[in-house]
A = this chain, B = another copy of it.
Amino acid sequence: MRMTSQRSIILDEIRKTHAHPTADEVYVLVRRRLPRVSLATVYRNLDVLTRAGLIRTVELGGCPRRYDGRVDDHIHVRCLECGRVDDVADALLARARSRVEKVSGYSISGHHLEFAGVCPDCQRRARGRRRRKNAES
């Protein structure tokens, strides 16, 4: 794998943020430093970097993929209001995995756990809206 300037800038941007950007968002970030880059190059390299184990691809059912500079095991929690994705450390997962392996007979090589709900910011916003609404009524 050649480390071209495009590739290393894409890797750098992914590692710099903790926001789990989509391919489009990575494209925007990378274009600030490399205005002539192609979206195809971004997709290609996100894939190459994932297969090289340098980043993680985060598959979120029903919405565009996101990419993650953290490659250690962790859980994602997604906000149903604003779409942000945050990290949560986990320990139970290893236990669950071995249990699933035993019960199902599968040889497990990976998992994908995502909780969905409303993030603290959006909860606050919602409380604000409710209060304002009550006040005016």
Contacts and interface: CB of A to CB of B under 8 A. Distances in A.
A83 interface: no
A36 B104 CA distance: 38
Task: Give how many copies assemble into the complex.
Answer: 2
Contact of A110 (B88, B101, B116): B116
Q: What's the interface size class on A, roughly?
A: 35 or more
B120 A106 contact: yes
Contacts of A77: 100, 104, 106, 108
Interface stretch (A12-20, A22-30, A38-46, A55-63): A55-63
A107 interface: yes
Interface in A81-118: 86, 88-90, 92-93, 95-97, 99-101, 103-118
A9 interface: no
A54 interface: no
Contact of A103 (B88, B96, B104): B88
Contacts of A120: 105-106
Given A61-B59, A96-B92, A115 B123 contact: no
A37 interface: no
Interface of A: 58-62, 65, 75, 77, 79-80, 86, 88-90, 92-93, 95-97, 99-101, 103-120, 123
